Amino acid sequence: MNSRSLLRSPVSRRLLRPVADLIDRRIERQVRAAVRQATTHRLSCELLLGERGRGLSRVVSQGPLERLHAEVAALSGNRAAATRNVATAYRLLVGLEALGVGRIAGGTMNICGKLGTIPLLDPPNDEILEIGTLYGMFSTGLVRMLEREGRSPSLTIVDPFAGVQLQPGTNPRPDPTGTPVDEHAVRTNLALAGPAGAAARIQRGFSEDPETRAAVADRAYGVIVVDGDHSAKGVRQDLQWAEEIAAPGAIVVLDDYGDPAWPGIKEAMDDHLQDDTRLTYLGKAAHSAYLRAS
């Protein structure tokens, strides 16, 4: 009888059963401990980055991240800086949403794309206008990202601050974070960006209203982020306004461009670019389009 047959014999099996049971129990204990540990890690990640409390998960997957690196690199012409800025923007996004009130609107790749790309497009001056701010947290992040590039941003914000997010064609409902959309929340977030955040100019009103426009059209902006009324008409009006207030070489960012939820944005940009315009389309990263004024 060879050793294999010997081990399989009924007598050997009976004799070895207690040892086999002991090994089985040890393996089972180790598997249970590993599952418990994985569940603990998953729960902690879920609380840090999951959708609870803000409505959108901040967990990143490899495919979208690689796509974003390629898009930011194509826009900026600098692959290493694109990869660095996307990573920096991601850490900033998680940090801001942990410390601030409310949230930044939109998907993780789109936010990291905007925060990472704008500083790399070398805006002609440091005057920033954000049309539609919600909690002011994106602007807070943009101030930080521009300062990291050695810039001295000066921020102007326009929003109706209606207590909730207003969008034509949608029913206003409380934000998933539970925080009211008001100027107080915006100031709290801007304080996280230090002196430049505290010095931000906030104009309450609709961007299409002549009084709102008159109050902030006192300068030529180097960056204009269009993220207010998402209807085709609203975006078209904001683009027409951008033609008047953009500095030569300014970057105009159209948020949620190409997002199937907001078809009016692409429609407005396509229509606008067929007119006599100072704006040239540079490209897109995630769901944002980038234009440069002549």
Q: Interface residues with ligand SAM (CB under 6 A)?
A: 104-105, 130-134, 137-138, 158-160, 162, 165-166, 181, 206-208, 227-229, 234
* Residue with smaller CB distance to ligand SAM, 71 or 227: 227
Task: Give the CA radius of gyration of the chain.
Answer: 26
* Residue with smaller CB distance to ligand SAM, 87 or 166: 166
For 155, phi then psi, to 5°, come to -110, 135
Minimum Å gap between C-beta 155 and ligand SAM is 12
* Residue with smaller CB distance to ligand SAM, 72 or 104: 104
Minimum Å gap between C-beta 162 and ligand SAM is 6
Among 151, 111, 113, 116, which Cα is nearest to 135's?
Answer: 111
Q: How far apart are the first and last CA of the chain?
A: 90
* Residue with smaller CB distance to ligand SAM, 124 or 132: 132
9 CB neighbour count, 10 Å cutoff: 11
* Residue with smaller CB distance to ligand SAM, 29 or 197: 197
Minimum Å gap between C-beta 98 and ligand SAM is 15
Q: Report the residue number whose CB is nearest to ligand SAM.
A: 132
What pairs with residue 127 in β-bridges?
154
In contact, 225 and 146? CB cutoff 8 Å? no
* Residue with smaller CB distance to ligand SAM, 110 or 125: 110
Q: Give CA–CA dist 256/169, Å, rounded.
A: 16
Q: Give CA–CA dist 146/181, Å, rounded.
A: 25
Minimum Å gap between C-beta 21 and ligand SAM is 59
Per-residue CA distances from 192 to 11, 36, 85, 291 (Å): 74, 37, 19, 29
Minimum Å gap between C-beta 134 and ligand SAM is 4
DSSP code, position 145: H
Minimum Å gap between C-beta 275 and ligand SAM is 21
* Residue with smaller CB distance to ligand SAM, 83 or 133: 133
* Residue with smaller CB distance to ligand SAM, 172 or 248: 172
Among 241, 251, 255, which Cα is nearest to 289's?
Answer: 255
DSSP code, position 191: G
Minimum Å gap between C-beta 184 and ligand SAM is 14
> CB-based burial of residue 114 (10 Å sphere; 0-12 exposed, 13-18 middle, 19+ buried)?
buried
Minimum Å gap between C-beta 68 and ligand SAM is 16
Among 142, 149, 43, which Cα is nearest to 93's?
Answer: 142
Q: Is 217 helix (H, G, I), strand (E, B) or coil?
A: coil
